[in-house]
Structure 1
Amino acid sequence: MAAVQTRRKRKLGQFLHALRKRAGKTEADYHALTRKTQSTLSRMENGYISPSWTELGALLGLYGASESERREAEALWEDAKQDGTRLVHAAAFTPEARTYARQEADATEVRTIEMIVIPGLLQTPAYAAAIRLAGRRFLDPSVSVEQAIAALAGRQRRLPQLTLHAVIDEAALHRVVGGREVMRAQLLHLLEAAKQPNITIRVIPFGAGAYGTMSGGGATALRFEEDDPSAVYLEYAGGGKWVDNPADVQNYLLHFDEIITEVALSPKESASLIRTLATALKET
């Protein structure tokens, strides 16, 4: 199995990298101690692999770590060994989506803006299945709808531990995905989700006019504990892309704040609109 970068392993790697640089040790010193390559050192310091317990102790000795630094490194090592980012039905995700889901599993807050679909964390199984079937040309045909729904359910099980801010364009609420009953159930599900204290749903009404991200598809910002920087992910049919430039990430975060304060309806107004649309689907 290919080595997978996780936030926990990366934090350990960054800590060891800082100790190595402070001690003035090079890749050659690492090789002399462990008989491993520079590539292995790079993968370890970038969070793709973790050292063994014995190797960790040897490196801390080589780097001249203090007792408090040893305790911190050992705690980070133990944390990295806890595979909190293991994915349910990982094969159901594209490579890009697997990376995103692992990052999402480590996040404390998710901010998402969607123009044409309901955000994945808030989708019902029937709605998600309809989306999956409609996009089948862009997806792996070996992954069944059932596998994809199970993978989504695995992500959704973490919702109680997240703070979720979902901004949804009114267009996504009007599009009858999967038929009237499926869409009505989806809208009612949004209303129930919005009652949870950790979930906020706001709608961008048709009357709001143009806004910054409407021409580019959905965007999701992840925030993490401590001083880890926020990350922004842009999803498109068949894949996705991370926004790497810190200035661009900051622009997305500022844009999200602007939409909340200047464009979107309040949570109460949003719920009222969703309820009206759900009622209309029942009556016609």
Structure 2
Amino acid sequence: MKLLRYGEIGHEKPGLLDHDGKIRDISGVLSGDLGGDNLSPATLARLAGTPVDSLPVVNGSPRIGACVARPCNFIAVGLNYADHAAESNLPVPKEPILFNKAPNCIVGPYDTVVLPRGSEKSDWEVEIAIVIGSRTSYITESEVPAHVAGYCVCNDVSEREYQIERGGQWMKGKGCATFGPLGPWLVTADEIPDVGKLGMWLDVNGQRCQTGNTDTMIFNVAKIVSYISHFMVLEPGDVITTGTPPGVGMGMKPPKFLKPGDVMELGIEGLGSQKQPVVAWSKAAA
């Protein structure tokens, strides 16, 4: 299934994308929003068993929101592609590098990305994100598939000065408002035959910047989820974004960073695509 949320900011409803590309309203089947326990295996099985033709069609072209509602945790893995580590002039990690993104930085896949006030080094990162479906702690890699609800596209927007030059942890450059476009869909795990072999791409102003594949990840999905579960309890609806292939602005010679008026477009095979205009911070934009 391709699950999504549609409607104005703060008033999104849960939906499903049918085989004809139409949005179907699942609010009559789902009690509440698309997040938390509504991503459990039992709930997803009930949704999968509902005849799609019985679900109301959503008319028009509504805004598409983030595909997961209010995750408790938004966790990220750094330097998870060897080529990206090389372009960052950093060694390939021996264990996953973990940091937090603020859950309230999540926005829809076509929403505007707002550069932080005074930002000069904001950057792009196409990533595949894992969405947790079951409460998870101390699990083995072989147990991971039973705890994953699905996958989606994430743009791990990053302010490199805040992240690298301001001391402390990376999260300072990772959790700014609008720095977590997510979606357009949450694709349930059963629809992805091999999550370890998906093409990825990102363009800025129509120029291809990133081209990659999940088969070059240093730590795969099973390793990442199992590893994180040994340090914290993962809850249904939590999002884990898993690192980016090479081609970020920081790694270009000379470096290239986002500026107002830029447009980012990105996607992952089987998971859909995103498009975000970039604007400068202002009281209105904030």
Q: TM-score range by the shorter chain?
A: under 0.3
Larger Rg: 1
TM-score (norm 2): 0.25
Which structure's residues are more often helix, by fraction? Answer: 1
Higher strand share: 2
The alignment's TM-score, normalised by the length of structure 1, stands at: 0.25
Taking CA–CA contacts closer than 8 Å with sequence separation of 6 or more, which of the two structures ends up with the larger relative contact order? 2
